[in-house]
A and B are shown apart, each in its own frame.
Chain A
Amino acid sequence: MAGTPAVAPLPYTRAQAFNVLGPKPEETLRTAYRWMIRARTLDARMLALQRQGRVGFYGAATGQEAVNVAAGLASRPEDWVLPGLREQLVALVRGHPLDRYVHHLFADAQDPALGRNMPCHPTAREVHYVSMSSVIGTQISHAVGVGRGMRNRREAAVALAFFGDGATSSNDFHAGLNLAAVGRLPVLFVCTNNQWAISVPVERQTAARTLAAKAAAYGLAGTRVDGTDLVACWAALSGALERLRRGGAPEMLEFLLYRMTAHSSSDDPTRYQPADWAARALAHDPLARLAQWMRREGLLDDAFQTEVQSEADEAVRAAIRAAEATPAPPEAALTEDVFARPASPIPGR
């Protein structure tokens, strides 16, 4: 909460920030703030429901909202999102309805993927948000293929591949950056370095000085960005997207940020995180940093904050109510969609 540990201030004057944020900076900031509050509210509520046994699993993205909101707002409808573990908010900002996402979290009959995945693995084709698997890194190569499609159809769009710091050690990180670079395809590699891969700290993930430095080995530009600074995230993402749309080479952005919750509802970080981690993370809470700065610049007051918070509470509450009133997917969902048409009768059915 504002006030409690010291929050690292955002280093901008109002004019500097407005310069970066494009034509309607105040509206952009308010929209970003609104989404960050919604996401924070959803994370907190769902973690509580998970503990009560009302949803099976939850993976929060608390601390990563600035990147997600900036990516959602700076990308265009024709761009594609190939998500890693924690980009569900990008789908929502791009227009996937919150209630549909909550149906997915409850794996009910209204889940667009019929309850086939664990929670936090949504698919939202209407906003070009590709289905995520739990397998770390595989989506990085997929983004290259999407970029190839854009190139072949002469579409000025970008494929955004999201992945964590752990994924930079995966086969597909290497394969994906290499293939995109060789083909000079419109792919933006977005690394959310929350400094942990479950219990493994980023210093034990790589001996490279930064993750962004790895891009150089593929002949690409790699830039490290403060991923808890909404304005910096916006500037980095919109700049890179613009360059790529104009035919620029692929790039990698490394967003340095702080995982503010456990890896997932199945994890106990007290087993491995140092005692001062929570305080360092809180000092880099992207929502607190943005709120503090907006207040200072007269862009946020108690009335707006209350309005946004109660809107978020109500939206989340309504979505949960609807999901809890929805039955489980029909049994037929088990055997559909293995193939376009069943290749042969499925044994046991």
Chain B
Amino acid sequence: MSELTLVQAVNRGLAEAMRADPDVLVLGEDVGVNGGVFRATDGLLKEFGADRVLDTPLSETGIVGSAIGMALYGLKPVAEIQFLDFIYPAFDQIVSELAKMRYRSGGQYPCHVVVRAPYGGGIKGGLYHSQSTEAYFCHTAGLKVVVPSTPADAKGLLLSAIADEDPVIFLEPKRIYRSVTGEVPEGATRVPFGQARSVRSGTDVSLFAYGAMIPVVTEAATALEAEGISAEVLDLRTLVPLDEEAVLRSVGRTGRAVVVHEAARFCGFGAELSALLAEKAFYSLKAPIARVTGYDTPFPYALENVYLPSVERVVAAARETVRAS
């Protein structure tokens, strides 16, 4: 065990995966000499050399497109997109190629690719260094979508992603890259996909979140406790595949649900979760499902703290669901 920040855990995961398997390589803008603008790939060039740590030209479609080609050939590339906000030049490659290659080739060409991208707000990044657009990827069949919230999960889920035969979009909550530290197991301790993590258990209301919203929601649960409301916090960890069972079990116990994400509300991941609960947990629900999300606006600069779900907004929503019944 060692105490690491989330970004150090990502770095550790990459290095261990590359040590264990010569087919694993990383590519992206500034990932080599500079070690990544967030230092996620620090030291990798020195240890693994320029054939496995590729500083690429500024071309997201080229990064993901060539990663796909590497995977077709038999390598296991981990592509870095510097910010999720800049993934759109590669959106075509991700949606049209990466997600569909196995299917359209009748299983002849799987696509063993991980695309890592720091996502989310809270760093004063304005419109284009802050967005949280996981729903675009969740909507596309053929992609797995992973969002860790702790250093241990960042490494464990990354190792699972790199071992996975299918394409994985790995979204890293950059707001808590360094503010969250935690014990991280040494060695190849993978965290399996499709298993939500229970952050704390409670009996009155379930708070569902992921990534950088976990610290916010956990703090809200503590505040609710002081008011006599017992809140359960579930960290979804992987949006695709989703741990439906854990979500339904939780609401089966509490009868109330608050879904929290920093992405915009309309057609956000919370809409899917709400639909799931309406379809499969309707008779357990004691109150309407609440969503605490970003607003349906572009991501603001000056007012980002208004935009982002806060402890107060989560507490208010949870309180409301408890008052409703």
Interface residues of A (CB under 8 A from B): 80, 82, 111-114, 116-117, 121, 123, 125, 130-131, 133, 135, 138, 140-153, 159, 171-172, 174-176, 178-179, 182-183, 336-340, 343-344
Contacts and interface: CB of A to CB of B under 8 A. Distances in A.
Top 9 A-B residue pairs of the complex, sorted by shortest distance between their CB atoms: A145-B69, A141-B65, A149-B73, A175-B62, A113-B106, A343-B241, A142-B69, A145-B66, A131-B105
B142 interface: yes
Interface of B: 25, 51-52, 54, 56-57, 59, 61-62, 64-75, 77, 89, 92-93, 96-97, 100-110, 141-142, 144, 164-166, 193-194, 240-242, 244
Given A138-B93, A179-B59, A148 B104 contact: no
A144 B96 contact: no
Contact of B65 (A80, A113, A116, A172): A172
Contacts of A142: 65-66, 68-69, 72, 97
Given A130-B72, A138-B93, A178 B62 contact: yes
Contacts, number: 156
A145 B66 CA distance: 4
Contacts of A151: 51
Contact of B68 (A113, A141, A153): A141
A171 B73 contact: no
Given A141-B64, A145-B65, A337-B103, 9 more contacts: A113-B106, A117-B104, A133-B96, A145-B68, A148-B70, A149-B72, A159-B69, A179-B66, A340-B165
Contact of A144 (B25, B69, B75, B109): B69
Contact of A125 (B57, B100, B105): B105
Nearest to A123: B105
B69 A152 contact: no
Contact of B52 (A113, A144, A152, A172): A152
Nearest to A150: B73
A183 B144 CA distance: 30
Given A123-B105, A148-B75, A339-B102, A135 B59 contact: no
A29 B89 CA distance: 44
Contact of A337 (B52, B69, B106, B144): B106
Given A145-B73, A179-B59, A112 B65 contact: no
